[in-house]
């Protein structure tokens, strides 16, 4: 690979890949420093938090709504127009990408009022509406994921060298963004703990 790209081995500072077993195996005997992709590691940490039963139930409830919302789409557009809201369709997520789940929940929450009005006016569709407890979880999750989505977009870039950004960004995420506060719901604190511990565990040994 180095020969193909004409890279002088003396110029190498670090090699980074995802955390696939074959990648780790390929570089374990390599003399240069190997670091797992920070964007990938952050994605893994968030994915772990999304496996929480309450969170998983809420995400599935939103997914179920959107899957069953095909027929009342015209009515939803009318409700959006009546409320002077942008004509934006509900978004379906991609199960393997937490960012798409965030966008799905965010779009639903922004259109919750017209969606609710649409389902109330359609016979046999009200069962699609997520329960209040699920909506509360969605709101907590979106509030937590919003700042993290920006870091993922920036640090998963293939056009920038971001090695020097890992330490300050990791510190900011773990000490500021994901710090647990007594005033927060227990679910939010639990998700923060999971998201905070996973990246720290992956980078502590390398830093030492």
What string of pLDDT tens digits covers the 208 residues of the chain? 878 989 887 787 778 888 888 888 888 777 677 888 887 888 888 888 999 999 999 999 999 998 887 766 778 888 888 888 888 888 888 877 788 889 999 999 998 998 888 888 877 788 889 999 999 999 999 999 988 887 766 666 666 666 677 788 888 888 888 999 999 999 999 999 998 888 777 776 544 4
Domain residue spans in the chain? 1-36, 37-207
Q: Is the pTM of this model over 0.85?
A: no
Longest dimension (CA), the chain: 70
Please, what is the Cα angle at 131 between 125 and 132, to 5 degrees? 135
- Residues in the chain, total: 208
Residue 58 CB-density burial (10 A; 0-12 exposed, 13-18 middle, 19+ buried)? buried
The angle subtended at Cα 199 by Cα 16 and Cα 181, nearest 5°, is 150
Q: For position 151, what pLDDT does the model report? A: 72
Give pLDDT, residue 96: 72
The residues facing 17 across adjacent strands are 36
Instruction: Give strand pairing partners of 14.
Output: 33
Tally of CB atoms within 10 A around 158: 5
> What is the model's pLDDT at position 33?
76
């Amino acid at each position: 690979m180095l020969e193909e790209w004409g890279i002088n081995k003396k110029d190498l500072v670090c090699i980074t890949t995802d955390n696939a077993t074959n990648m780790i195996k390929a570089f374990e005997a390599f003399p240069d420093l190997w670091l797992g992709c920070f964007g990938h590691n952050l994605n893994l940490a968030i994915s772990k938090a999304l496996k929480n039963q309450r969170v998983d139930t809420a995400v599935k409830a939103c997914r179920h709504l959107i899957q069953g919302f095909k027929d009342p789409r015209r009515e939803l557009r009318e409700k959006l127009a009546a409320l002077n809201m942008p004509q934006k369709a509900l978004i379906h997520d991609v199960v393997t990408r937490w960012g798409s789940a965030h966008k799905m929940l965010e779009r639903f929450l922004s259109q919750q009022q017209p969606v609710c009005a649409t389902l109330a006016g359609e016979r046999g569709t009200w069962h699609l509406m997520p329960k209040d407890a699920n909506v509360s979880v969605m709101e907590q999750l979106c509030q937590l994921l919003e700042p993290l989505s920006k870091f993922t977009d920036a640090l998963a870039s293939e056009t920038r060298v971001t090695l020097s950004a890992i330490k300050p960004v990791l510190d900011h995420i773990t000490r500021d963004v994901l710090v647990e506060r007594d005033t927060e719901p227990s679910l939010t604190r639990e998700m923060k703990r999971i998201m905070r511990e996973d990246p720290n565990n992956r980078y502590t040994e390398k830093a030492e």
